[in-house]
């Protein structure tokens, strides 16, 4: 395997459950902005509010914690941290005293910059660290490099989604990189940072810090550059359609680690 560890089916299942439950919960909590950005999706989510809240978030989160508990305290608390961060990102639960200190923010999503950093933190930790922790392995330099790369790629996807949702976020008073920078500067930011992260990944692979199969991941950087280049501020519906491809990109990103793991040895 990529990290020289056997595949753990429970770890894979846990990552799926975490991703599924937190994303479904987010469909309900983005009600104001989605009323503008994605009204049909919000309507469908509200029709299934009890199912999403009770089953797909609380029950699924509880099941994931039970699974993690079987692999030790570190696995349990790491899983719990991912769930808590997801909850604090989605739900307006900050007390009034804290909210005043944070300029009115009631959740992590309301805090500028933090809004774009929180989901990548969750997904990178779940995808890279959790399987290693389940197996009782230490976090090597290779693991930290992969975590950083996954964090950056998830960050790119977050910013691309925010470019698509600029209008709804502005109406909801949610500050994002995409609506505080100009549209052009956001595109340039994505392209330049994608080039830099790609060069760093190339260097780590070329110097044998990472195995040669890691070159495969450079496809993700290329995809980010292509999608950002195609974005057009005056074609919101087109951006929404093309942004759906970022879901495919994210899926390819996740699967790519499995592919390179298979061919590493």
Beta carbons of 166 and 179 less than 8 angstroms apart: yes
Quote the tokens at residue 224. 């980010």
C-beta atoms surrounding 127 within 10 Å = 22
Cα–Cα distance measured from residue 187 to residue 164, given in angstroms and rounded to the nearest whole number? 12
Residues contacting residue 62 through CB under 8 Å, at least 6 positions apart: none
**Count of H-run helices and E-run strands, the chain:** 16, 0
User: Where residue 81 falls among pLDDT bands split at 50, 70, 90?
Assistant: very high
Please indicate, yes or no, whether the overall pTM of this predicted structure exceeds 0.95. Answer: no
- Percent pLDDT > 90 in the chain is 26
| Residues 193-216: tens digit of each pLDDT | 999 999 999 999 899 888 887 887
What does the angle CA 7 – CA 249 – CA 201 come to, to the nearest 5 degrees? 70
Tokens representing 170? 């502005």
Measured distance between the N- and C-terminal CA atoms of the chain, rounded to whole angstroms: 7
Residue 249's Cα: distance from chain center in Å? 12
Other CB atoms within a 10 A radius of the CB of residue 147 amount to: 18
Give CA–CA dist 9/3, Å, rounded: 15
**Per-residue pLDDT tens digits for 169-192:** 777 777 888 888 888 898 999 999
Contact in structure between 166 and 175 (CB atoms under 8 Å): no
Residue pair 126/237 in contact by the 8 Å Cβ criterion: no
Position 103 confidence tier, pLDDT thresholds 50, 70, 90: confident
Domain ranges of the chain: 9-264
Taking the C-alpha atoms of residue 142 and residue 56, their distance in angstroms, rounded to an integer, is 33
pLDDT tens-digit profile of 227-245? 888 888 777 777 777 776 6
pLDDT in tens, 50-74: 777 888 889 999 999 999 999 999 9
Distance, in Å, from the CA atom of 127 to the CA atom of 41, rounded to the nearest integer, reads 27
CB atoms within 10 A of CB 80: 15
Tokens of 45: 């989510």
User: What are the tokens at 8?
Assistant: 């753990």
């Amino acid at each position: 395997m990529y990290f020289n560890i056997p595949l753990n089916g429970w770890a894979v299942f846990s990552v799926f459950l975490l991703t599924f439950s937190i994303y479904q919960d987010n469909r309900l909590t983005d009600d104001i902005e989605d009323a503008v950005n994605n009204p049909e999706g919000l309507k469908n989510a509200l029709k299934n509010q009890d199912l999403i809240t009770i089953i797909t978030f609380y029950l699924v989160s509880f099941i994931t914690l039970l699974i993690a508990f079987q692999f030790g305290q570190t696995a349990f608390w790491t899983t719990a941290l991912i769930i808590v961060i997801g909850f604090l990102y989605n739900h307006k639960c900050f007390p009034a005293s804290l909210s005043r200190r944070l300029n009115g923010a009631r959740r992590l999503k309301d805090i500028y910059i933090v809004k774009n950093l929180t989901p990548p933190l969750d997904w990178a930790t779940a995808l890279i660290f959790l399987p290693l922790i389940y197996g009782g392995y230490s976090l090597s330099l290779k693991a930290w490099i992969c975590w950083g790369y996954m964090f950056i790629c998830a960050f790119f996807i977050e910013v691309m989604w925010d470019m698509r949702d600029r209008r709804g976020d502005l109406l909801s008073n949610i500050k994002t990189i995409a609506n505080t920078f100009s549209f052009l500067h956001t595109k340039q930011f994505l392209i330049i940072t994608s080039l830099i992260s790609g060069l760093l990944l190339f260097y780590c692979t070329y110097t044998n810090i990472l195995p040669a199969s890691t070159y495969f991941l450079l496809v993700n950087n290329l995809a980010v550059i292509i999608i950002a280049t195609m974005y057009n501020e005056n074609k919101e519906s087109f951006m929404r359609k093309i942004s759906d491809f970022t879901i495919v990109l994210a899926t390819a990103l996740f699967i790519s680690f499995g592919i390179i793991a298979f061919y590493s040895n």
